[in-house]
Every structure is written in C-alpha cells, then in structure tokens.
Amino acid sequence: MKKNEVKYNSYIGKLYEGEKKRADSGERRKEERISPEDAQGKEIVRKYSAKCDVCGLPYVDPAQFDIHHINGDPSSTVTRNLVLLCKNCHGSVHGRVNSLIKDYKNEKKETSSGRRSVSKKKTKPKTIKIDCRFCNGRGKGLTGLYLCPVCDGDGQIEVFNPPEKCRPCNGTGKNLSGTMMCQKCGGTGYTNTVKKT
C-alpha cells in the first residue's frame, strides 16, 4: 500500500514540534499507550474507518496497530490528538522524529557552547546504496501487503561509506521481537543513513 506522504509528513512535523518543546523544557515523556482494544481505542478505529491513516492498511489484527498521540504527549488523550496507525507507519514516524530531535539537540549544544566552527572546505561524504535491512531488499513491508516504509519500496537505502550497523537492533532494522521498526535507526539497520529530502 502506498504511503500518504502529506499525512506522514504532517504527523512527523506535529510530533517534532511537541518533542522539541519537551526537549527545550527538559520534560521526560511517559510511555503510556492507549490500546486499539480500549473503549477510546475502538472509537479511534471507527473514526479512521478501520485502517491506517498513513498507508491505508486495513485493521484486521489489533496487534499490528497503535494509537498515535499526534503531539507526542501521552497524557493528552483527547480524540483530536489521537490517530490510528499501523505499527510500521507509527515506528517510521517516531524513528524519523527521534533522528530530527537528536540533530536538534546536537545543533543546540554546539551553538550554546560556541563550538560551531567554520570549515574551510566542505567535502561531500561518499555514499553507497545497500539492501534495506527492514525488508531485506524486497521492497515490501512486514505483511507483504504494502511497500516497505523505510525504503519506500526501492529495496535499497543510501548510507554513508562505511556503513555503521545499528547496535540496538543489531542491524536488522526491527525491534527485538521483530514486529516493529527499530526506534534508533528508523528501520534502516544503519546509524549513518542519508536523510531523504
């Protein structure tokens, strides 16, 4: 199934803004989840016509879906802050935002310490294309019904040379149970991937 890039990028933008505010205030995020099986979860499933709001995957197995907090604040459980996403799209949104927040914190740290140096000549690092670890180069998601959310169906991703394998997922691109995208690497299996624009 094809990912709706407008909705996908909108969820990334809204979550990024919420996470950026929390990073600036030093607030820690609680990991409370609303299950699609709860009464409020069932209401969200109905609101989104029993399908992922990003890729359209039909809601058949509740274990394949999450209720996403649009602004990233799990204490805000109003219906307008909740959306039904399949685990792949949910993991992809959070993986991308985690990467953006890491960059934001590093940039903020560099500017506040005054260490931002001006390089004389910027050289473009060499990149290579390798098989996507999340779909093993097939271009299909976990269930095979839709395109891989990491490589967008290409089967390959671009990384800086030499590739650096992600330690938390051991380069698989999946969490330990193998059912969700690794939050650290965003499902790529590598920590030095070239960011898509």
DSSP secondary structure string, 1-16? Answer: ----HHHHHHHHHHHH
pLDDT at site 49: 92
pLDDT at site 123: 62
Strand positions, DSSP E, the chain: 65-69, 82-86, 127-131, 156-160
Give the tens place of pLDDT for each residue, 119-163.
555 566 688 888 888 788 888 877 778 888 888 888 888 888 888
Torsion region of 144: left, alpha or beta (phi above 0 gives left; psi -120 to 50 gives alpha): left
pLDDT at site 53: 93
pLDDT at site 1: 66
Residues in Cβ contact with 41 at an 8 Å cutoff, skipping those fewer than 6 apart: 34, 35, 67
Is residue 105 within a helix (H) or strand (E), and if so which, with residue range?
A: helix 87-113
Residues in Cβ contact with 25 at an 8 Å cutoff, skipping those fewer than 6 apart: none
Give the tens place of pLDDT for each residue, 86-117.
999 999 999 999 888 888 888 887 776 665 55
Dig out the tokens for 144 from the structure: 């095979």
User: Distance between CA atoms of 189 and 58, rounded to whole angstroms?
Assistant: 27
pLDDT at site 115: 58
pLDDT at site 158: 87
In the predicted model, is pLDDT for residue 45 greater than 80? yes
pLDDT at site 55: 92
User: Distance between CA atoms of 186 and 172, rounded to whole angstroms?
Assistant: 11
pLDDT at site 89: 93
User: Distance between CA atoms of 74 and 69, rounded to whole angstroms?
Assistant: 6
In the predicted model, is pLDDT for residue 36 greater than 70? no
Give the other-Cβ count within 10 Å of 144's Cβ: 9
In the predicted model, is pLDDT for residue 196 greater than 80? no
Q: Is the dihedral of CA 35, 39, 41, 46 positive or negative?
A: positive
Q: What percent of the chain has pLDDT over 90?
A: 16
In the predicted model, is pLDDT for residue 14 greater than 80? yes
